[in-house]
Amino acid sequence: MERYRRYLADRLSPGRLAHSLGVMRVMEELAAVYALELAPARTAGLLHDAARDLSRDQLIELAERAGIPLDGLAHRQPLYLHGPVGAHLVAVELGVPDRLVLESIATHSFHRDGPLFDHPFCWCVRFADLLAPSHPWVGLHKLGAAVRAGRAAEAALLHCRWLRQYLQERGVPLHPVLEHADRRRLEGQELPDDFFERW
């Protein structure tokens, strides 16, 4: 783990490194709630943003070299690529072999889905990402309560909806993978009026 931390220290801003350590700690908690293996859970949390501080050009160049499809919004919003590019980097440069760890990193930025997209491990990385924020945000406590109580289906609905709102407020076009994940989660659900109320 120390080797991973040193790798990140060379590539991430101090704030981003602190966030990554925070996500690792939340993953430790969630491993107990969702019966995840502890070591992979910590690894995924720590390394999930390995590519987050690369420039737009670096993300596109690395994606091209790694054979990551540049479909969806990749050219307009290369930030969506930081998941798959990060998974590629930690596999190649750190030798991380665990498929679930790599998939959770690859899919956390919603550039693509895949057979493991809805695996509890992958959702836990997405939850932990929002629960270890750099700044507090309204909704954090409600999401945290649902996640820590094991109510992953409810938490995933909140996660998708609030992430969409966050991106829309910042004028970031929504990736079809995120919209699709949200729609899939909502299908056939009868939600109370105050379901998305924040606290």
Which residues bind to Fe ion, rule: CB under 5 A? 49, 129
* Minimum distance, C-beta of residue 133 to Fe ion, in the bound complex (Å): 9
Nearer of residues 24 and 100 to Fe ion, judged by Cβ? 24
Nearer of residues 18 and 186 to Fe ion, judged by Cβ? 18
Give the 3-state secondary structure of residue 61. helix
The two three-digit tokens of residue 59, written as one number:
């993300």
* Minimum distance, C-beta of residue 110 to Fe ion, in the bound complex (Å): 10
* Minimum distance, C-beta of residue 193 to Fe ion, in the bound complex (Å): 31
Q: Name every residue whose Cβ is closer than 8 Å to that of residue 129 and which is 6 or more positions away in sequence.
A: 23, 48, 108
Q: Please tell me the distance from the alpha carbon of residue 55 to that of residue 40, in angstroms, as a whole number.
A: 28
* Residue 176: C-alpha distances to residues 25, 80, 182 (Å): 30, 11, 10
Nearer of residues 135 and 195 to Fe ion, judged by Cβ? 135
Phi–psi pair at 75, nearest 5 degrees: -80, -35
Nearer of residues 35 and 43 to Fe ion, judged by Cβ? 43
- Residue 39 has a CB neighbour count (10 Å cut-off) of 12
Nearer of residues 12 and 158 to Fe ion, judged by Cβ? 12
* Minimum distance, C-beta of residue 82 to Fe ion, in the bound complex (Å): 6
CB 121 within 8 A of CB 104: yes
Residue matched to tokens 């798959």: 84
- Residue 82 has a CB neighbour count (10 Å cut-off) of 25
* Minimum distance, C-beta of residue 11 to Fe ion, in the bound complex (Å): 13
